[in-house]
Chains A and B, each alone.
Chain A
Amino acid sequence: MTGQDVVLVLLGAVALGGGVLCVTTRQIVHAALWLVVAFGGLAGSYLVLTAEFVAWVQVLVYVGAVVVLLLFGIMLTRAPIGPGDGLDSENRWVALVVAVATAALLVTTVILGFGYDRKDVHAGGGSADALGSSLFRTWVLPFEVASVLLLAALVGAIVLSRTDIGPKDGD
């Protein structure tokens, strides 16, 4: 095991620990803050794997925007200090089964796809240049499909939030 591997495992532990605490804490705002820790650990893992661009975008979008949106939503509705009731949906065993099944599926996919190959990472492999040219040369179709999906979601959000363009009376 190299130093890189050790750091990667430690960051993985941080991300996993943050995630577990996020779903087990009894305080809803703490859950959002543990999510920040989990995202931070994940961004760190990306950095160790030299995927710099993905790492900083992860921080910019998830920590900087998604968590802020979550916190805003929580504070707008109900954000008691101290343990809150009703955070437990009584579905923990089902949730655990789903989580373990998803993890098993992902791990199986990765192992079936790559076997036990070791892939060398090298500095600059995940730079904006490398990522941009592979995204817009090799993977441009999936990229466009994703943008169509986002555009549709955006149009849907506008339709839902505008009260003056609802369905016609009598429909």
Chain B
Amino acid sequence: MPDLLEIVLKLAAVAAAFGVLPLLVGQAEHKVMAHMQGRLGPMYAGGFHGWAQLVADGVKFAQKEDVVPAAADRTVFKLAPAVAIVPYLLVLLVIPVGPDGQVVLDLGLGLFFALAVMGIGVIGAIMAGWSSANKYSLLGGMRIAAQLMSYELPMVFAASSAAMAAGTLSLSGIVEAWHWYWLPWQAIGLVVFFVAGLAELRRPPFDMPLADSEIILGPYTEYGGLRFAFFLLAEYAGIVVLSALTAVLFLGGWRGPFLDAELGWLWLLVKVFALAFVVIWLRVSYPRMREDQLQKLAWAWLVPLALAQLALTGVLRVALG
């Protein structure tokens, strides 16, 4: 039964990554933001530089009372956090961490699987916005829907560009086809994919749907305790997934300067954390965009840029044979 053992081990590794990486990104966000703003950030929990802050937060969330608003749609309200978080777990299954089958599920259509499943996660947030029976939540849910519809298109276009360049939709195949000259060739696609992904995750500066200073926390306003923690976890898992997908599609995934086969997972991890750092950096650097600015960025900039990238990819593919 070596196959079964291998599958169990791989699933355990994915579950561990899903449990640990988002927390690492969250802790990094606490510390990086703090230092960029001339603060120290959490310093007490766990002793050394507050490393256990998020563990303490988790314990706090678990102790809180489970509240469902009286006017809420109970079933949908309770289902929403699960719908928001499970898709990101599924995407992790198809991310290759090394050559020769170092991936849980090597789908021939891995790229489409990842994009399709990530789209489902957004429905969780929309469900939360509607079922809370709160006008701020409803506004947030509507903004999420509007944002997703605008940014899904450039994201899929940019991802298709990488697939066209590689000549395959398999994520492992795309990494194998990657060469250093993809960096200048697919640069526009990289930027478009990353920016559109940020908007789909509703990270600042694209956090109009949450906008804590005007609509409290949008769809998550009525949530508390573990359910709220799940939404937070989904956000950070989303950062991990977006960074991993960007790294796999545009930055060569597990390819590194040496020892690709043995240390592939390490190269991928380095790239994921570098991109996660950029995500945090952008949050600290840019103010929140208004709804009209969001839509303009998507339709007037990202879609034409993604189309230009597709054309460039196609022309060079044909010209180079």
Contacts and interface: CB of A to CB of B under 8 A. Distances in A.
A64 interface: yes
Contact of B119 (A60, A72, A81): A60
B73 A56 contact: no
Contacts of A67: 123
B142 A56 contact: no
A29 B73 CA distance: 10
B130 A79 contact: yes
- Choose among A82, A124, A128 the residue with the greatest number of B CB atoms under 10 Å from its CB: A128
A69 interface: yes
Given A52-B109, A64-B119, A29 B145 contact: no
B138 A128 contact: no
A151 interface: no
A106 to B, nearest CB: 26
B108 A128 contact: yes
A124 to B, nearest CB: 7
B141 interface: yes
Contacts, number: 87
Interface stretch (B47-55, B110-118, B178-186): B110-118
B148 to A, nearest CB: 5
A94 B146 CA distance: 35
B76 A60 contact: no
Contacts of A60: 112, 115-116, 119, 156
Interface string B36-79: 00000000000000000000000000000000000111001000
Contacts of A127: 108-109
Contacts of A30: 76
Given A33-B76, A79-B138, A59 B120 contact: yes
A64 B116 contact: yes
21 contacts: A29-B131, A52-B107, A52-B108, A53-B112, A56-B109, A56-B112, A59-B117, A60-B116, A60-B119, A60-B156, A64-B116, A64-B119, A64-B122, A71-B130, A72-B145, A72-B149, A75-B130, A75-B141, A79-B130, A128-B108, A128-B109
Given A59-B120, A68-B149, A75-B142, 16 more contacts: A29-B73, A56-B112, A60-B115, A63-B123, A64-B115, A64-B122, A64-B152, A65-B119, A65-B148, A65-B149, A71-B123, A72-B145, A72-B146, A75-B126, A81-B133, A124-B108
